């Protein structure tokens, strides 16, 4: 879902908020973004990112809601699988508008809010225990509202479910049958916003 959209960042000054290990930044380098800054508040994530990325990518350890980046430093912003971890969206949207030039495009992807109604939990296994990740639920309308208040227009929205490539993951977990039950449900979304002219 993300790759065709990332290609729109070719030639742009890009900020990836909550960049993690730099999965999307590697793609942004490949497609020819003019400059790339990755922001994450986890030192461990940034260390892993710095091992895989070229030195021209700047990595900044910071909360994405209050970065040390200069105002109007970018024309493309990515926030991929970040928002569920934020307690409220207003501070995020205000920081995005601060660092954005007029007409900046913002691409947000996340787990679809509808997954809550399926009763799914976000967990991972560590040794013998299953650990639940704390997330902060929001609706797409909450996101639209926070971005609109900050000065962004919605310009793109797409929902997606699991693709056939995820069938292997279900099979490895011993539940290939479950894939066929859930494959038509929305599981992810991508939303694009554009900053109004100054
Ligand atoms: C699920 S990972 C997604 C990483 C990457 N964007 C991707 O799509 O692969 C979420 C990342 O957001 C970071 N994060 C969560 N809250 C943050 C915050 N308030 N400020 C900066 N980074 C944050 C975490 O450290 C983690 O690296």
Nearest-CA residue for ligand 1 atom 25 is: 42
40 lines ligand 1 (CB under 6 A): yes
pLDDT at 165: 83
50 lines ligand 1 (CB under 6 A): no
| Residues 119-148 pLDDT 10s | 777 777 777 787 777 889 999 999 999 999
pLDDT at 118: 76
Nearest-atom index, ligand 1, CA of 19: 6
> SS in 3 state form for the chain?
CCHHHHHHHCCCEEEEECCCCCHHHHHHHHHCCCEEEEEECCHHHHHHHHHHCCCCCEEEECCCCCCCCCCCCEEEEEEECCHHHCCCCHHHHHHHHHHEEEEEEEEEEEECHHHHHHCCCCEEEECCEEEECCCCCCCHHHHHHHHHHHCEEEEEEEEECCCHHHHHHHHHCCCHHHHHHHCCCCCEEEEEEEECCC
45 lines ligand 1 (CB under 6 A): yes
Report CA(79)–ligand 1 centroid distance (Å): 8
Q: What is the pTM assigned to this prediction?
A: 0.92
Q: Total structural domains in the chain?
A: 1
Q: What is the mean pLDDT of each run of 10 residues along the chain (198 residues)?
A: 90 98 96 97 97 96 98 98 96 98 97 84 75 87 98 96 85 85 88 88
pLDDT at 198: 64
Domain containing 55 equals 3-195
CATH of the domain at 41: 3.40.50.150
């Amino acid at each position: 879902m993300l790759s065709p959209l990332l290609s729109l960042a070719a030639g742009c000054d890009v900020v990836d908020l909550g960049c993690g290990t730099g999965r999307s930044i590697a793609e942004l380098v490949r497609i020819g973004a003019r400059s790339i800054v990755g922001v994450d508040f986890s030192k461990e994530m940034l260390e892993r990112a710095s091992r895989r990325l070229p030195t021209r990518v700047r990595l900044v350890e910071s909360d994405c809601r209050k970065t040390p980046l200069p105002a109007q430093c970018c024309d493309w912003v990515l926030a991929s699988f970040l928002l569920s971890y934020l307690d409220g969206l207003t501070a995020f949207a205000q920081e995005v508008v601060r660092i954005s030039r007029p007409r900046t495009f913002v691409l947000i992807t996340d787990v679809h809010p509808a997954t809550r109604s399926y009763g799914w939990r976000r967990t991972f296994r560590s040794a013998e225990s299953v650990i639940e990740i704390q997330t902060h639920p929001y609706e797409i309308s909450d996101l639209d509202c926070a971005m609109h208040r900050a000065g962004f227009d919605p310009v793109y929205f797409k929902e997606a479910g699991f693709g056939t490539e995820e069938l292997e993951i279900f099979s490895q977990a011993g539940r290939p049958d479950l894939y066929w039950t859930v494959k038509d449900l929305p599981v992810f979304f991508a939303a694009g916003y554009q900053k109004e002219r100054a």
